[in-house]
C-alpha cells in the first residue's frame, strides 16, 4: 500500500483543543460512542469494532468526493488531537467498511447499533503525537481498495491505533464512524428533489404601523436567522462544481469511471408576505416603540435593503410561494363558530398582492402550504379554493410508513373523496430528510451533510429503477446552520442519485430529470388521512380568537359602514386595520401566546380609540310647555367624513315627532346638531336614549342618555329650548377646539 498522508504537527492553545473535544462529543449518531479501555479491540483482531476511551480524538472536516467513483480516490481531511498526558508512539490510521445497508430502516438501525466491521481496507502510519499535540490529517486512498460492490450505503470507520507512553502494545485510541454512499455500479433512475425554502417570522408591527421591537433588524442581518437562511440557499444556487480529488504524491491519477453531475439547485421560497411588508418598510426611516408611547429610530435599514435585494434575485431564478398574510392558523380559523373562516381567503389575496408589490414578481398560486399539524376538512376546503392544484401536507396527515418497509414512497398521495373532486393533489414533505437539516445536537457540519447524503442515497438504492419525487422543506421558523443546509441543497444537483426539480413542475405533474430515459410515474403511493386535528395539538386559543373576532367586527363596521368610503384615506385606514387583525391570527402565536395577546390587545385599543372619535353629545333639556324640541349633537373628531344616523327613544309619557333621523354626513372635525319635536303628556323628568346608527341601520357604540324635564310653564318654551340647543352646540364647539389644539393622532 502506498503511503498517502501529508502530516503536519501544530500546537494551538488549550482552549481550541477543548472546543474540538466538545465538538466531537456532540457528533450524535455519526460519532460512535467510545467504550472503556477494557473493551479495546486486539491489534490482531481486525473484525472487532471495539473502541477505547483513549486520548486521541478525530475531527473530520471534509470527506471527498460526495459521490466516489471506480478508479477515483477518497480523501479524508481532519485533525487528530492528543488530549492525554503522555505521548502516543507508533501511531497508525486504519479505514474500515462494513456490509452494505439495503433499506432506510437498516440505516436508522445502524445509527444505534455497532456494525460488523471488516478487516482494514487502508492502513497508514502517522507521526508520534505529544501530549496536547495536534496532527493534521489528509488521507487519500484509491476507492477500488475499499472493494465496494452493489449500489447503496456502506458504514465507514476511521480508527487510530497507537502506543500510549513507553510500554504496552498498540491499542485503539480513537475512532469516528460515518457512511459512504456508493453508486459506482449500475446506473439508477435519480430521485427528483423539490426544495421549498421557508422564510417566515412572527408579526412584529403594531396596529399603528410602528415596529413593536427591532428584533427583525438583527434577524435580517448577515449573521441573523433569516439572513443566514437566505444566504445559504443563494450560495447553493450558484455553487461551483467540486474538483476531483488529486492522488498523493508519487501515484498517478486514474480517471474515474463516471463524472459527477453538476446542476444548479432549484429553490422555491415560501415567504410570509407580512415579513416582506415589514422588511420593505424598514428600508426607509421607521419608528420602534419603547416603554410607554415613545419611539426611537429603527436600525435595520441596511440589513433589510440587502436582504430584499438578495431575495429578489433568488425568486427570479427559482420562484416564490406566497403564504397567506401573517401565516394564519388555518385550522383554528375554520374551527366551529369562530366566524373567522373568511379571513383565510382574505389573507391569501392580500399575500399575493403584497408579494407582487414588494418583489415585483407573481407568486406561485397553485400550491398551498399550511402550518404544521393535521388538517381538518374545513381547513382543507379553505386552502383549495381558486387556482390551488396541490396542498403540501405533513407526514402526520398520511398513512405512516412501516419501520421495516423495503422502500420509501414518493411525495404524491391520494386524497379522500370527501375533500376533493380530484382536481387537487396531496404532496407530502419528507420529514426525515427535512429534519436532518436541523440536527438535534450540534455536530460537525461536514458529517451532518454526509448523513443527509447517505439518507437520499439509501432511498434511491431501495428502488434503483424507479425514480420518485421527494419534497424537502426545512422547519418553518427553524434556525438553520448555513454550512449544513447550503451543502445539502447544492448536493441535490451534484450526485448521480438525485436531481433538482421545481415545485411548480411537481404541482403540474411535469417534473423530470435531465437525460431521463424512462417516463416518470406520477401515481400516488399512499392515501392521505385527513382527520380532525387533535384538540391538544398546537393551535390558537379560543380566547385569543374571540378577541380577534371582536376587533374584526368593530373595525369592519367603522371602516365599512361609518367612515365615508371611496376616498384613498378611507381605503388606507381599512387596509391598515385589516392587517392588524390578520396579524392576530398568525400561527406564530401557537408557541408565543403572550406576544399574540399583546398584539391583539393593541389592535383592540386602536379600534376603540378611533370609534370613540364618533359620538353623540347629550345633556339636559327643560321644556316649559307640553311641546318643544329635543336637541343632540353628532361629533366627528376624525380626519375623515362619517355617515351616521341618530335614533331617539322616549318613554311612554312622551311622544317624539320621529324616532330616527335620516343618514347624516358629518365632515371631519365637525359637530352637527340634530333636533326632534317632542310632546309631553305630563310634567316631570324623563330620559330619552340617543343611539348612533351606521349606514346599514346597525347600532354604533353604546346609546347615550338625554334627560328632559317638562315644567309646562307657557309660551316661553321655544326660547328656552333654543337656548338649550345653543348651549349644547357651544359645548360641542369647545370640545372640538380643545382637541384641535392637541397634536392629532394619525387616523
Q: In terms of DSSP bridges, do strands 171-182 and 469-472 run parallel, antiparallel, or are they unpaired? A: unpaired
Across the chain, what does the average pLDDT equal?
A: 83
Residues 353-412 have pLDDT tens digits of 999 999 999 999 999 999 988 888 888 888 888 888 899 988 877 777 776 778 888 999
Cβ atoms of 149 and 168 within 8 Å: the answer is no
Q: What's the angle, vertex CA 418, arms to CA 413 and CA 424, rounded to 5?
A: 45
Q: What's the angle, vertex CA 43, arms to CA 39 and CA 45, rounded to 5?
A: 80
For position 211, what pLDDT does the model report?
A: 94
Residue 151 is placed in which grid cell? 449500489
Based on C-alpha coordinates, what's the Rg of the chain?
36
Report the distance separating Cα 508 and Cα 348, nearest Å: 20
Cβ atoms of 631 and 621 within 8 Å: the answer is yes
Residue 412 is placed in which grid cell? 404524491
HEC-encoded secondary structure of 134-171: EEEEEEEEEHHHHCCCCCEEEEEEEEEEEEECCCCCCE
For position 256, what pLDDT does the model report?
A: 67
264: exposed, middle or buried (C-beta count within 10 Å: 0-12, 13-18, 19+)? middle
Residues 224-267 have pLDDT tens digits of 999 999 999 998 877 777 777 888 877 777 666 666 678 888 89
Cis peptide before 65 (omega within 30 of 0): yes
> Cβ of 730: how many Cβ atoms within 10 Å?
10
More confident residue, 54 or 207: 207
- Across 106-110, 273-277, 460-464, 625-629, the highest mean pLDDT is recorded for 273-277
The residue written with cell numbers 381599512 in the block is 574
Residue 725 is placed in which grid cell? 340647543
Average confidence (pLDDT) over 181-202? 89
The residue written with cell numbers 399575493 in the block is 352
Average confidence (pLDDT) over 642-659? 84
DSSP element (H, E) containing 333: helix 330-333
Cβ atoms of 95 and 1 within 8 Å: the answer is no
For position 578, what pLDDT does the model report?
A: 96
Residues 694-735 have pLDDT tens digits of 999 999 999 998 888 877 554 444 555 555 556 566 666 676
For position 731, what pLDDT does the model report?
A: 65
Cβ atoms of 188 and 465 within 8 Å: the answer is yes
Report the distance separating Cα 345 and Cα 119, nearest Å: 63
For position 715, what pLDDT does the model report?
A: 47
Residues 349-363 have pLDDT tens digits of 999 999 999 999 999
Average confidence (pLDDT) over 327-342? 91
- Across 37-41, 44-48, 455-459, the highest mean pLDDT is recorded for 455-459
Q: Which residues touch 46 (CB under 8 Å, ≥6 apart)?
A: 96, 117, 118, 119, 120
281-290, 292-301, 606-615: least confident range: 292-301
Q: Considering Cα of 373, then 375, then 379, then 384, what sign does the dihedral take?
A: positive
Q: Which residues touch 358 (CB under 8 Å, ≥6 apart)?
A: 273, 276, 277, 279, 280, 308
Residues 424-447 have pLDDT tens digits of 888 999 988 998 888 766 667 888
For position 258, what pLDDT does the model report?
A: 67
Amino acid at each position: 500500500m502506498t503511503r498517502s498522508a501529508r502530516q503536519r504537527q501544530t500546537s494551538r492553545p488549550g482552549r481550541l483543543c477543548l472546543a474540538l473535544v466538545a465538538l466531537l462529543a456532540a457528533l450524535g449518531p455519526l460519532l460512535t460512542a467510545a467504550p472503556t479501555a477494557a473493551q479495546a479491540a486486539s491489534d490482531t483482531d481486525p473484525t472487532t469494532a471495539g473502541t477505547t476511551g483513549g486520548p486521541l480524538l478525530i475531527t473530520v472536516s471534509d470527506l471527498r468526493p460526495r459521490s466516489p467513483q471506480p478508479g477515483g480516490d477518497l480523501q479524508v481531511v481532519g485533525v487528530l488531537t492528543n488530549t492525554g498526558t503522555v505521548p502516543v508512539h507508533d501511531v497508525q490510521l486504519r479505514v474500515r467498511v462494513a456490509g452494505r445497508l439495503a433499506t432506510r430502516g437498516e440505516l436508522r438501525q445502524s445509527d444505534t447499533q455497532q456494525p460488523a466491521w471488516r478487516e482494514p481496507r487502508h492502513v497508514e502510519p502517522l507521526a508520534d503525537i505529544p501530549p496536547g499535540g495536534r496532527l493534521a490529517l489528509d488521507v487519500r486512498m484509491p476507492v477500488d481498495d475499499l472493494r465496494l460492490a452493489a449500489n447503496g450505503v456502506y458504514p465507514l470507520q476511521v480508527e487510530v491505533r497507537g502506543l500510549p507512553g513507553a510500554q504496552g502494545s498498540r491499542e485503539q485510541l480513537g475512532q469516528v464512524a460515518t457512511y459512504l454512499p456508493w453508486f459506482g455500479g449500475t446506473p439508477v433512475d435519480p430521485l427528483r428533489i423539490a426544495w421549498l425554502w421557508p422564510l417566515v417570522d412572527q408579526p412584529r408591527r403594531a396596529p399603528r404601523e410602528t415596529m413593536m421591537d427591532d428584533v427583525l433588524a438583527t434577524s435580517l442581518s448577515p449573521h441573523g436567522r433569516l439572513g443566514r437562511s437566505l444566504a445559504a440557499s443563494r450560495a447553493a444556487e450558484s455553487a461551483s462544481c467540486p474538483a476531483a480529488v488529486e492522488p498523493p504524491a508519487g501515484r498517478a491519477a486514474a480517471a474515474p469511471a463516471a463524472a459527477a453531475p453538476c446542476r444548479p439547485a432549484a429553490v422555491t421560497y415560501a415567504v410570509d408576505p407580512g415579513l416582506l411588508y415589514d422588511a420593505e418598510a424598514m428600508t426607509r426611516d421607521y419608528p420602534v416603540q419603547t416603554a410607554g408611547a415613545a419611539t426611537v429610530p429603527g436600525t435595520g435599514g441596511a440589513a433589510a435593503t440587502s436582504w430584499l435585494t438578495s431575495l429578489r434575485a433568488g425568486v427570479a431564478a427559482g420562484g416564490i410561494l406566497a403564504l397567506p398574510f401573517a401565516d394564519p392558523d388555518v385550522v383554528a380559523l375554520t374551527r366551529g363558530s369562530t366566524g373567522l373562516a373568511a379571513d383565510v381567503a382574505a389573507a391569501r389575496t392580500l399575500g399575493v398582492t403584497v408579494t407582487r408589490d414588494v418583489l415585483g414578481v407573481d407568486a406561485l398560486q397553485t400550491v398551498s402550504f399550511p402550518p404544521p399539524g393535521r388538517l381538518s376538512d374545513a381547513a382543507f376546503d379553505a386552502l383549495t379554493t381558486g387556482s390551488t392544484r396541490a396542498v403540501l401536507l405533513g407526514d402526520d396527515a398520511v398513512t405512516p410508513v412501516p419501520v421495516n418497509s423495503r422502500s420509501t414512497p414518493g411525495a404524491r398521495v391520494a386524497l379522500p373523496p370527501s375533500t376533493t373532486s380530484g382536481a387537487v393533489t396531496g404532496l407530502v414533505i419528507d420529514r426525515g430528510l427535512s429534519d436532518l437539516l436541523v440536527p438535534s445536537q450540534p455536530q460537525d457540519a461536514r458529517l451532518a451533510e454526509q448523513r443527509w447524503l447517505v439518507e437520499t442515497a439509501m432511498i434511491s438504492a431501495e428502488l434503483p429503477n424507479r425514480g420518485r419525487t421527494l419534497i424537502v422543506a426545512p422547519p418553518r421558523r427553524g434556525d438553520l446552520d448555513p454550512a449544513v443546509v447550503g451543502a445539502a441543497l447544492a448536493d441535490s444537483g451534484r450526485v448521480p442519485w438525485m436531481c433538482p426539480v421545481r415545485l411548480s413542475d411537481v404541482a403540474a405533474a411535469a417534473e423530470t430529470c435531465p437525460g431521463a430515459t424512462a417516463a416518470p410515474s406520477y401515481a400516488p403511493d399512499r392515501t392521505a388521512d385527513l382527520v380532525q386535528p387533535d384538540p391538544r395539538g398546537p393551535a390558537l386559543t379560543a380566547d385569543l380568537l374571540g378577541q380577534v373576532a371582536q376587533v374584526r367586527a368593530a373595525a369592519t363596521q367603522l371602516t365599512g359602514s361609518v367612515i365615508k368610503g371611496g376616498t384613498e384615506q378611507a381605503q388606507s385606514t381599512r387596509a391598515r386595520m385589516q392587517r392588524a387583525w390578520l396579524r392576530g391570527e398568525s400561527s406564530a402565536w401557537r408557541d408565543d401566546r403572550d406576544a399574540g395577546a399583546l398584539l391583539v390587545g393593541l389592535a383592540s385599543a386602536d379600534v376603540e380609540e378611533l370609534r370613540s372619535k364618533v359620538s353623540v353629545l347629550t345633556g339636559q333639556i327643560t321644556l316649559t310647555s307640553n311641546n318643544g324640541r329635543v336637541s343632540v349633537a353628532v361629533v366627528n373628531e376624525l380626519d375623515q367624513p362619517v355617515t351616521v344616523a341618530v335614533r331617539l327613544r322616549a318613554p311612554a309619557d312622551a311622544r317624539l315627532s320621529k324616532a330616527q333621523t335620516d343618514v347624516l354626513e358629518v365632515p371631519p372635525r365637525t359637530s352637527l346638531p340634530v333636533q326632534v319635536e317632542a310632546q309631553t303628556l305630563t310634567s316631570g323628568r324623563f330620559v330619552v336614549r340617543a343611539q348612533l346608527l351606521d349606514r346599514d341601520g346597525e347600532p354604533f357604540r353604546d346609546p347615550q342618555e338625554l334627560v328632559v324635564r317638562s315644567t309646562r310653564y307657557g309660551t316661553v318654551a321655544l326660547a328656552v329650548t333654543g337656548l338649550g340647543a345653543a348651549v349644547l352646540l357651544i359645548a360641542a364647539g369647545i370640545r372640538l377646539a380643545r382637541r384641535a389644539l392637541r397634536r392629532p393622532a394619525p387616523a
